[in-house]
Structure 1
């Protein structure tokens, strides 16, 4: 018997969180007797606008109410599979009313609760600071991307919590070829414009690496960014080319700030780098502490001196880069790939109906 599931994503497939937490699972889940209907609140045109710095408020409101109308009229489902919340800035009690008798699974790959309990004005927090807690408490199942999110779900009184990391599809990722002797060492980062500000504090490191070793810096998806006197290449992000772009890096980096929001990140950059056989360097905050095995598949760096020392070490030791890259790829194959998590996700959804 096929179970009907309405998949309520925040974005279309170009939105990173929706792509990794939902869209890439669809082919496998459909093969497991799950009849999935996907309904993004904001489509790929919206994602493209945001990445190019555009924001059409009228278009957003139109999508918002179209989404709400569908939810109120289309009720023939056994389960709702929700990304973060049904609709942003809608009270939790109203979301529960909309869901009605249909059980729901809610998924988080970041600390969405901090968008309500930390960032908005104080008067807004009075009404919405506990919204996500209530969404979690009312869910049949909360799927958390890491322990930080799972801990919040426990505090909220969620009845059932499972941790599934954000992963990649191994079929899309292959190991990079060996670096040709004499080529410039390429320090790489991939992400989106809102997250690129984490690179600015590393400007002195990039400048020093360029001055001493002629190291390059390549950023993919960052938009316009100035990193001082470094050999900087800025590339637009495209789904079809992201893997090849990463394979052109020699090391992948993931700097973070010590904030509640960054503690809730799921480390997908690190997973992408490691899937291509790259060593990684990142700030030991949140899930980065679990993914980066210091001295094994990469380095955990806190100070600018540590960033400079570890990147310099890798720039001068291609054998170490290869050794760390092999171990990183093995870790992805064991724990951070779709081939491992998709069967578990299918079982969780079926058990929630």
Structure 2
């Protein structure tokens, strides 16, 4: 058997909740490395619980019958997938095998799979629930996350703090932190520096992270009384604001880089809680990749990413948001220098080339 494995490509099954190239936790984490893994001789298959239709309706109100049907279909496909596990050298599980209920399928996967890598994002083992998804979270069991943390051969986490917590749960040192990844050939600064009529402050995210955007809105409204700017939101929801000059665009993969390039200052507000300790700082990296200043709450892992005042800006007190943004609006040179430094750091630490080696090491 060993000789047979050595004479062929190693087979890896990626078990994911979301369709390919859509959810940030997949498309800006391990999915960008598939081509590198294939060049290194790995044979990759990806099995996604959600299809495109379920993803489209999953977080929208209504559609209950259709949601139930697609969920049952996904469960059946996961059961059938069990039969194929012996042919894979490694099963890479992102978040869960099945999103609801106890760790039944997860236990069966562990029993059958030769080797399991478990990839956990955000602090989903926190006792503090994400308010935007409180009802959904109540349908999920922390038992399955802890089971996978304890029994996986390798655990990949989104922050060093979460890695430490997982090692405590597993009573081992098998957890490793791997940063998010963006394609540095695709995420690039805008080519033209043509003067704009208005400076643009921007935020990108989904409805599930909108509560963080709400933190900074009062300070943006106060700022708008003193400075002229456009506020751009890139997301998957609609909103309005009677005070701000607001533009809301719907995210899509084909246009996301161009949408980001329209921003001059990127916002990454966060709350100060245990849940945030598992956030990877991905928004900050998106802004850094296109060479603009990321202005971030000094919370969670982002404090390890940004050197304050050099390649980004950290806001240590919530009341300082207006003052901090006003300073950047008034200082074009500072915006330019911080943005250039941010791009350099991104290329040196968070590009595909920089991160692929960590996945190759984890896969063995």
TM-score where L is the length of structure 2: 0.88
Going from structure 1 to structure 2, the CA distance change for 1:101 and 1:131 (only over 3 Å counts) comes to closer
Q: Deviations over 1:232-251 (max 9, x none)?
A: 10000011111111110001
Say whether residues 1:60 and 2:71 are aligned partners. yes
**Is the Cα contact below 8 Å between 1:209 and 1:215 reproduced in 2?**
no
Which residue of 1 is the match for residue 116 of structure 2? 104
**Is the Cα contact below 8 Å between 2:117 and 2:152 reproduced in 1?**
yes
Structure 1 residues not aligned, in runs of 5+ = none
Please, what is the CA RMSD of the aligned residues? 2.3
Q: Deviations over 1:197-222 (max 9, x none)?
A: 21223222222222222111000015
Which residue of 2 is the match for residue 200 of structure 1? 214
Corresponding residue to 2:149 among 122, 130, 136: 136
Structure 2 residues not aligned, in runs of 5+ = 1-7
Q: Deviations over 1:123-158 (max 9, x none)?
A: x79x94443222111111011121121012111124
Corresponding residue to 2:19 among 9, 12, 19: 12
Q: Report the Cα offset of residue 90 of structure 1.
A: 4.7
Corresponding residue to 1:29 among 33, 37, 43: 37
**What pairs with 1:106-255 in structure 2 (closer than 5 Å)?**
106-114=118-126, 117-119=127-129, 128-157=141-170, 158-177=172-191, 179-181=193-195, 183-255=197-269
In 1, the alpha carbon distance for the partners of 2:271 and 2:83 equals 40
Which residue of 1 is the match for residue 99 of structure 2? 88
**What pairs with 1:285-296 in structure 2 (closer than 5 Å)?**
285-296=299-310
Q: Deviations over 1:295-348 (max 9, x none)?
A: 112221143431111111111111110100011111111111111111321232
In 2, the alpha carbon distance for the partners of 1:338 and 1:247 equals 20
TM-score where L is the length of structure 1: 0.90
In 2, the alpha carbon distance for the partners of 1:222 and 1:45 equals 15
Q: Report the Cα offset of residue 118 of structure 1.
A: 4.4
**Is the Cα contact below 8 Å between 1:297 and 1:328 reproduced in 2?**
yes
In 2, the alpha carbon distance for the partners of 1:272 and 1:222 equals 17
